[in-house]
Structure 1
């Protein structure tokens, strides 16, 4: 069975931390339960792979608490992590700075490299009709922590750009089914993203399905007006105008 590109196989001597979709931790190939407070600490360290001070971690993960209580919460989370695995997950436990141990693999890192490579045209191995696992889900979408928002948006945008780039690649090569799959996946991930909708329309037009292209454009225009009070861009309107035989007004 083929493996997803840029996916590092699980080694028997490492820990793997999954942050896309949901939180899971495997150590030496075995799933490990991690309490919620310790999960948040692991995620924080995964997003700050170079490490950070104990004070910064405590302040960010236990906001609004007095410094002493936040520090106690951090010590408790570290203790809980040490009890969950024979392998040390956090390096330099006695140091003033905390970082993940080097043997911890993080799916987000490989997925980001993969998505950026696709979006920038730096990869030659364009994926086929099945969406690769690295492009299917966002960073912990069910979590509501403010400190996670920027990292989530960073990967979300990389994922969307990659999906659109793969769609354009397949469309240029005449593989319209694959192109539509990737374009629609981008639309589903971000329903108000015009570039994704424009790619869906372009695929329909390339297939000669003018009615479907115009229907998709009109559906997006109504939704954009209803939810944001905005018209589609001039570029999108110009794309469909020749098939209507008239300019498309900005309404």
Structure 2
């Protein structure tokens, strides 16, 4: 029986097996794949050990949801021939944990994440897009942990495909934080707006839109001194790091509230 069929038939293994790769695992809750902050695969809140190639394979498919075997093999093993890469892919797939809730599903030439597998990055992406598109639920007491958190995608991994996804996710998170701060200011939730703005500033201190969002929150509360302090701090940082000034748009924000700035 070929390996792709055998993967589909991993069902109903006995209880009590240790949670390590290539051994049968019986679980009572959906598997969880964490890619933010570190790589971690969990069954029933317990970590599962994977080989380095197993981690890379699961991370790539987990990020993209569905991918062709050709693309996957070529990305993970770019330095070898296509036949060798496909062989490495087959071996790595075979060594993934056997479970009654599949991690990876095979369909023709494509691989996709199992329907039960939860990937933390997907939750962050969905939340960020909801915020950017203006269809997120109201936030009254706390902000989405994934947005205001500082965990980056697979820290320490330096492969090109990881670097590209890490930067894409960082930019999406920053845009979502800026949009969220603006929305919260309009809703009169200045404290939460400041939290969102500062989360963006912590991630990228030279990002003007994040500092503008913080100033807007201060102005909405009538805290003019705080607004000026924030502006001047950003202006000093820009001058030191880039030798430039804040945009006229930023300066006009303060002028519209009767604040005259001196160099």
TM-score (norm. length: structure 2): 0.77
- Are residue 133 (structure 1) and residue 145 (structure 2) matched? yes
* Residue pair 1:118, 1:126 contacting (<8 A) in 2 also: no
Residue equivalent to 1:32: 48
Pairing partner for 1:56 from 71, 76, 95:
71
1:200-227 CA-to-partner distances (Å, cap 9, x unmatched) read 1112222333222222212212222333
Pairing partner for 2:260 from 236, 245, 249:
245
* Distance (whole Å) between structure 1 residues aligned to residue 137 and residue 218 of structure 2: 25
* Residue pair 2:61, 2:111 contacting (<8 A) in 1 also: yes
Q: CA deviation at 1:41?
A: 0.6
Residue equivalent to 2:230: 216
Where structure 2 has 5 or more consecutive residues not aligned to the other structure, the ranges are 1-26
Residue equivalent to 1:3: none
Report matched runs for 1:41-52 at 5 Å. Answer: 41-52=57-68
* Distance (whole Å) between structure 2 residues aligned to residue 144 and residue 128 of structure 1: 37
* Larger radius of gyration between Structure 1 and Structure 2: 2
Determine helix, strand or coil for the equivalent of 1:154: helix
How many residues end up aligned between the 2 structures?
234
* Distance (whole Å) between structure 2 residues aligned to residue 233 and residue 185 of structure 1: 21
Pairing partner for 1:120 from 119, 133, 137:
133
- Are residue 108 (structure 1) and residue 121 (structure 2) matched? yes
Report matched runs for 1:194-233 at 5 Å. Answer: 194-233=208-247
Report matched runs for 1:184-203 at 5 Å. Answer: 184-203=198-217
TM-score (norm. length: structure 1): 0.80
Q: CA deviation at 1:29?
A: 4.1
Where structure 1 has 5 or more consecutive residues not aligned to the other structure, the ranges are 1-10
